[in-house]
Structure 1
Amino acid sequence: MTGVEQVFGQTRQRLMPAGSWDWHVPTPFSQGWKVGSLVFVGGQLSADEHGNVVGADDIEVQTRNVFEAITRVLEEGGATWRDVVKLNTYYVCNETGDAVQEFWEKMTRIRLEYLPMPGPVGTAVRVAGLMYDGFLIEAEAIAVVGSGEAVQLS
């Protein structure tokens, strides 16, 4: 399905930005959906248009590619990183000891380039693996279009 439709009184639009990767087998999955003022960004990987890994073994390159992919979906839905209220990150790190901290810091340094202050709520989950070997990070987001600046209530 493409285009815009009405579902239970809410405008619903499938988000499939040009240049986004696609699955090598036919699936009904979407890169994102805009439902009313909400934008749901599906899990984004560091992949080229054909689903091949970009930046194998490089968490910084992969993190940047994932966050750029999220940016494209957000923009297609009329949102920005300032509108993101929830961010889930799944990452593969088979290191131990200090190497885990170094991996985490590299990933987080790139993520912080995209996240405004104050940032969204977030979850980061260390996993044994992702869709295919070579992928080190996958992230998904939820945004509220036009949410703008956060207001701190006392």
Structure 2
Amino acid sequence: MDKIRIMPKGHWDWSIPVSFSQGWKVGNLIFVGGQVPRDEEGNTVGVGDIEAQTHNVFENIRIVLNEAGADMKDIVKLNTFYRFDGKGEEALEFWEKMTKVRMEYLPEQDGPAGTAVRVSGFARDDVLLEVEAIAVVPDEN
């Protein structure tokens, strides 16, 4: 089975040279590496704004999927990691803002299996979320 590395031209890159990949296509599976709210120059987008960061992250996921011949409708598993220090209703409101934006990108009635994990932080303090995805595309036969 062929493995194809997915590295869209002009996509954000890490701050130092690393061997990580934005994604891999293996057979009819596409694995999208953790996408963060970054622009092409590697700057964080929407600092302090979960809605802006979520939009950017899902656009980054779309770019990686499109490079591999897939789209958002092909996602079967979504893992979301988000950072928020508040409690109670404030935490619920934060999660709901993030989730409403995610649903704009995943409007299908039967959406992907999903996981959302609240974390204490990321490699960069101005990042509020990171999302990875697995997609399935029809066999190319």
Report the TM-score range of the alignment, normalised by the length of the smaller protein: over 0.9
**Aligned equivalent of 1:119:** 111
Kept after mapping to 2: 8 A contact 1:79/1:146:
no
Aligned amino acid, residue 22 of structure 1: D
Residues 69-148 of structure 1 aligned to structure 2 (within 5 Å): 69-115=60-106, 116-146=108-138
Give how far 1:97 is off: 1.8
The AA in structure 1 aligned to 2:45 is V
Q: Looking at CA atoms only, which structure, 1 or 2, has the larger radius of gyration?
A: 1
State the match for 2:59 in structure 1.
68
Q: Percent identity?
A: 58
Q: Which residue does the alignment assign to 2:45?
A: 54
Gaps of 5+ in 2: none
In structure 1, distance between residues paired with 2:69 and 2:82: 27
Distance 2:16 2:6 in 1: 19
Per the TM alignment, residue 37 of structure 1 is displaced from its structure 2 partner at its CA by: 0.5
Point out 4+ residue stretches in structure 1 off by more than 6 angstroms: none
| TM-score normalised to structure 2 length | 0.94
**Structure 1: unaligned runs, 5 residues or longer:** 1-9, 148-154
Residue 141 of structure 1 aligns to a residue whose secondary structure is: strand
Note the C-alpha offset of 1:145: 0.8
Deviation at 1:128, TM superposition (A): 0.2
Corresponding letter in the other structure for 2:30: V
**3-state SS in 1 of match to 2:2:** strand
State the SS of the aligned residue for 1:71: helix
TM-score, normalised via structure 1 length: 0.86
Cα distance in 1 between the residues matched to 2:138 and 2:98: 28
**AA in 2 matched with 1:101:** L
CA contact (8 A) 1:32 1:40 kept: yes
Three-state SS of the structure 2 residue aligned to 1:99 is helix
Distance 1:146 1:110 in 2: 27
The Cα of 1:102 is off from its aligned counterpart by 0.9
Q: Which secondary structure state, in structure 1, belongs to the residue aligned with residue 40 of structure 2?
A: coil
Q: How many residues align?
A: 138
